[in-house]
Amino acid sequence: MKFIEQSAFKYLSVKLPYLGAFLMLLVLVLQWALDFELIPQQYAPFIVATVLPILSHIGKKIYQPALHTSPLGFVTVTAGHSNKDPGAVNGKIKESELVTNFRNAVAYYLHEAGVTTLTDGSGSKNDPLSAALKLIKGSTVAVEFHMNAAASKQANGIETISLPQDKQLAQNLSKAVANALGSRLRGDKGWIDQSKSARGRLAYVNAGGLIVELGFISNEAELAAFQARYWVAAKAVAKVLIDYEKRN
């Protein structure tokens, strides 16, 4: 025999039927003790069979905010550039649109895992950097997605820019993307130290976030791999973030 786990009793859909059954039993005991008949005994089984499922259904419909708080804190995931700033382009393909899709995919997997997630927009909406920066404060980890571009069509690889204290997480994120897309790691096993980056001091990283460069939009092979497998890479990134949340 397998009993209901104790944690199940936090749900009203479990509590209300138990309460109903207890009250029904109490009424029947009082009827017997005081020798009066409020509920005819022949109707008791019918009432139990009808009322308890109704109470369970009502319990499912009542919102319990305490049960929707993630024990993992919350993660911020944002997309680089914005709806007004396309970032790097390759023909008609815009960096801002690619990374927006990637952000949405990562957010989906985080939500599925029960992680509270903040994003700089939903669907095709991609808010500017000023809005993304406001989301970082208070989050356990904040990650923004970009794509690189170079004059050389051969330039390739995955990298994550961060401050030194986030080196391990940066390397894990880059490795997850590289493995999913079949690409290589740039920098120090996928990590770029902001203080040594040619890009200078990036506002998102200064605020405590990490910037993941998902490959080179200017490299046709890397771009094709991203377009074909970005959901796989997003799932891998989400797993890294979930594991990070569990450890912190």
Is residue 78 domain-resident? Answer: yes
The pairing of beta strand 93-94 with beta strand 89-90: antiparallel
Q: Is 63 exposed, middle or buried (0-12, 13-18, 19+ CB in 10 A)?
A: exposed
143-201 pLDDT tens trace: 999 999 999 999 999 999 999 999 999 999 999 999 999 999 999 999 999 987 767 78
Mean pLDDT of the chain: 84
User: Which of these, 68, 58, 44, 65, lies nearest to 14 by C-alpha position?
Assistant: 58
User: For the residues 99-110, what does the mean pLDDT come to?
Assistant: 97
d(CA 242, CA 172): 12
Q: Binning pLDDT at 50, 70 and 90, where does residue 53 land?
A: low
Is residue 2 domain-resident? Answer: no
- Residue 246, pLDDT score: 87
Q: Binning pLDDT at 50, 70 and 90, where does residue 54 land?
A: low
Is residue 118 domain-resident? Answer: yes
Instruction: Answer yes or no: do 58 and 171 share one domain.
Output: no
Is residue 137 domain-resident? Answer: yes
58-82 pLDDT tens trace: 655 554 444 444 566 689 999 999 9
Instruction: Answer yes or no: do 97 and 207 share one domain.
Output: yes
The residue among 24, 42, 64 that closes a domain is 64
d(CA 5, CA 2): 9
pLDDT at 219 over 60: yes
Q: Binning pLDDT at 50, 70 and 90, where does residue 222 land?
A: very high
Instruction: Answer yes or no: do 52 and 85 share one domain.
Output: no
User: For the residues 43-72, what does the mean pLDDT come to?
Assistant: 55
pTM of this prediction exceeds 0.85? no
Is residue 229 domain-resident? Answer: yes
Instruction: Answer yes or no: do 89 and 56 share one domain.
Output: no
Instruction: Answer yes or no: do 52 and 139 share one domain.
Output: no
4-36 pLDDT tens trace: 344 444 555 556 566 766 666 676 676 666 666
Is residue 235 domain-resident? Answer: yes
Q: Total domain count for the chain?
A: 2
Instruction: Answer yes or no: do 54 and 85 share one domain.
Output: no
Is residue 1 domain-resident? Answer: no
Instruction: Answer yes or no: do 150 and 190 share one domain.
Output: yes
Instruction: Answer yes or no: do 34 and 139 share one domain.
Output: no
Instruction: Answer yes or no: do 41 and 107 share one domain.
Output: no
| Residue 35: C-alpha distances to residues 29, 40, 76 (Å) | 10, 12, 65
d(CA 107, CA 113): 10
Contact 109/119 with Cβ under 8 angstroms? no
Instruction: Answer yes or no: do 50 and 171 share one domain.
Output: no
Q: Is 197 exposed, middle or buried (0-12, 13-18, 19+ CB in 10 A)?
A: middle
User: Range of 57's domain?
Assistant: 7-64
pLDDT at 90 over 90: yes
Between 4 and 208, the higher pLDDT residue: 208
d(CA 181, CA 98): 14
Instruction: Answer yes or no: do 83 and 168 share one domain.
Output: yes
pLDDT at 128 over 70: yes
Instruction: Answer yes or no: do 133 and 195 share one domain.
Output: yes
